[in-house]
Structure 1
Amino acid sequence: MTIHSRFSTTAVLAALAIMVMGTSTSTVVAQTAPANATARPTGSAGLSAPASSGVAAARSGTPTQNLSGKATDKVKAVADRPRDIFNRVPCLPPKGVSQSMGSLPHVAAKLAANKPVVIVAFGSSSTQGYGATSPEFTYPNRLAARLHRKYPAAAITVINRGRGGEDAPEMMKRLRSEVIDAKPDMVIWQVGTNAVLRNLDPASTAKTVEAGVATIQASGADLVLVDPQYAPAVNARGENAGRMVSLLSRVAHHRHVGIFPRFEVMRDWHDRQSLPFDTFVTKDGLHMNDWGYACFAQLLGDDIIQSVDQVQAGVSPPQAATAFRPL
């Protein structure tokens, strides 16, 4: 599959460094949302491969023959930043949150056979990366880096199809062209937050999501839903938020797909781990910051890896994904 887009300075530098040093042959790519997206992450500049992976795939422009020592130093400095983000505040797994990613057979089979894996991150501004200080800190980029660390020989492509301000009705209009047509092995669908903020009926949203889930399943892709974030702007509409979280869990259970309970995970950060909101949420009280995206990606990646390892080991994880807890 050929992906055409602009590259960020970071990605280009990383790609050039690899061409000069010849350190690896595996591929990890994260592609940003279309140029007409309604919101863009701070500092975003197009397509970016996660610097922490040390690998990028570049398909634009004429390659530069020589990389200066100064540019090489910059590449190394950028590569170090993602690894340092948890030094001040560690990313800890939540306790008491019941969850199962379910089975991810397509991704597991591809990784076991050393075949390329395509993952589409589908959603709104949380997926696009609004609030991140640079593309490398969006969750799709951080997730790609996490998966590459676990599967260094695999060609893993993470395509970012986040578009700010949208929810299920708008996403359904581009589901075919931006998700299904990419022929993904896995789709991560973050949905529901904007519906809560707009006071849309959670039951209607859940019905639309279920129709989208059926379409994605029919394509043969593995699927994980991601529910709304636990943040002041969402919590101000607590009743709608609670219903949305519960209904998305029920959709996942009914359709036998995975769910990452972001709402409960972020509530654990705040309530049990006693992290102030400004540790993981930007000043707007809604979007995650660099640390929030990084920890979210780390935990999501760990769950994906666990599910893949279970499939490859012949262990049958639960078919139905659950994330029920009193709200």
Structure 2
Amino acid sequence: MSSRSRYPFCPGTALVLAAVVLLAPLSPSSAQAQGAQAALLQHTDKSVPSPAPAASQANAPAQDNAAAQQKGIATRAIEKVKQAAKSASDILNRVPCMAPKGEPRTMGSLPHVANKLISGRPVVIVAFGSSSTQGYGSSAPEFTYPNRLAAQLRRQYPSADISVVNRGVGGEDAPEMMRRLQSVIDLHPDLVIWQVGTNAVLRNLDPDETARMVEDGVTLIQAAGSDVVLVDPQYSPRVTEHPDSASKMVRLLGKVAQLRRIGIFPRFEVMREWHERQAIPIDDFVIADGLHMNDWGYACFAQLLGDDIIKSVGQIKLGVNVPSNVLTYRPM
């Protein structure tokens, strides 16, 4: 068994990185902020004598302005400390997993998720799919990709109420998933992450028919007022035994995402990069059945997916990447 399979989360690496963040010398601005914070505490301490009564009232506005500036600097310093702590916490929970090089992936627009986060309302995400959504191959429930994703998003948005509901059923593909799609819509999710296509390849289903059903399903999800992200098949020996079908499925799902203007996480290409460009052995991220991911594989998949979701939400908060026809995604 490889070292990555035995120790999928490599805490030593994360601890070193966290230590670097937390032990780095203070920048001049941070030192000034801490000094200002100390000055503010001294200013508010009851033991500090009050100004002499003879002080000119003309100096009061200047004193008030200085106090406000000190309070503002102190507040910014506290926020920086909180952000550093959050970053350190995230480092401790991440696996040593590099994003693929080359052209950056785009998650597309996730307006429903972003709007809920901005307004402080609860966010519901449904992970919809087959056995790799259900978590087959993971050593414990907390290591499935939906649970890893939920943990990452909660670290990123600690004040938000975020739920990730697992609706993965092993062995299914588009025909079976379409029959239970309404039960997903009835949860009123803000985002549906739909992992599909692997079993269609293994069962030799018609890729064109699968893509047609997925497009119909995406249309229904969008009409119900949810964002959608597709996840294409995994790159693993059982799937790559069908190279033509697998590549066609990946291509067609990409076309559906483009047509419906939704996000897609290119799992097939990401996993192929792990093996071909990053020289990671297949059995470091796929279990012995030659199909399903192990703890490290699920963790890296969830981590990169979460990074893309966070980036998309951040762009919308900044007013970037907001589709002009976003209303077409909502029920009329």
TM-score, structure 2 normalization: 0.69
Task: State whether structure 2 residue 187 is matched by structure 1 residue 182.
Answer: yes
Matches within 5 A, 1:36-115: 83=92, 86=95, 90-115=96-121
**Which residue of 228, 231, 240 corresponds with 1:235?**
240
Q: Partner letter of residue 131 of structure 2?
A: S
For 1:133, which of 133, 139, 146 is the aligned residue?
A: 139
Deviation at 1:114, TM superposition (A): 1.0
Number of the residue aligned with 2:12: none
Quote the offset at 1:137 in angstroms.
Answer: 0.2
Q: 1:166 corresponds to which residue?
A: 172
The reply to whether residue 124 of structure 1 matches residue 130 of structure 2 is: yes
Task: Name the structure where helix makes up a greater proportion of residues.
Answer: 2
| Alignment match, 1:149 | 155
8 Å Cα contact 1:100-1:318 kept in structure 2: no
Measure, in 2, the Cα distance between the counterparts of 1:319 and 1:303.
Answer: 21
Contact 1:85-1:291 at 8 Å conserved across structures: no
Letter in 2 for 1:189: W
Could you tell me how far apart the structure 1 residues matched to 2:168 and 2:243 are?
24
Q: Which has the larger radius of gyration?
A: 2
Hey, what does 2:314 align to over in structure 1? 309
- Counterparts of 2:303 and 2:275, CA distance in 1: 17
Shift of residue 276, structure 1, vs aligned partner? 0.2
Per-residue Cα deviation, 1:43-86 (whole angstroms, up to 9, x for no partner): xxxxxxxxxxxxxxxxxxxxxxxxxxxxxxxxxxxxx9x95673
Of all paired residues, the percent bearing the same amino acid is 67
2:253 to 248, 273, 276: 248
Structure 1 segments unaligned to the other structure (5+ residues): 1-79, 321-327
**Pairs aligned (count):** 236
- Unpaired runs of 5+ residues, structure 2, are 1-88, 326-332
Report the 3-state secondary structure (helix = DSSP H, G, I; strand = E; otherwise coil) of the residue aligned with 1:118: strand
Change (3 A) 1:242 1:97: farther
CA contact (8 A) 2:111 2:322 kept: no
The Cα shift of 1:99 comes to 2.7
Distance 1:107 1:318 in 2: 14
Q: Aligned partners of 2:208 and 2:300: how far apart in 1?
A: 30
Query: Would the aligned equivalents of 2:144 and 2:295 in 1 still touch at CA under 8 Å?
Result: yes
Partner of 2:276: 271
In the alignment, the residues of structure 1 paired with residue 265 and residue 288 of structure 2 have an alpha-carbon distance, to the nearest angstrom, of: 24
Aligned to 1:41: none
Aligned counterpart for 2:213 among listed residues 197, 208, 218: 208
The CA RMSD over aligned residues, in Å, is: 1.7
In 2, the alpha carbon distance for the partners of 1:156 and 1:200 equals 36
Name the SS of the counterpart of 2:165 in structure 1. strand
Give the deviation of 1:319 after TM superposition.
Answer: 8.2
Question: What is the CA–CA distance in structure 2 between the aligned matches of 1:238 and 1:98, rounded to whole Å?
Answer: 25
Are 1:102 and 1:318, in contact at CA under 8 Å, matched by a contact in 2?
Answer: no
Contact 1:97 1:264 in 2 (8 A): no
Give the distance between the partners of 1:130 and 1:171, measured in 2 at CA.
17
1:224 — aligned with what?
229
Scaled by the length of structure 1, what TM-score is found? 0.70
Partner of 2:199: 194
Match of 2:41 in 1: none
Name the aligned partner's letter for residue 278 of structure 1. Answer: D
- Matched to 1:170, the amino acid is E
Amino acid at match of 2:195: Q
Contact 2:230 2:265 in 1 (8 A): yes
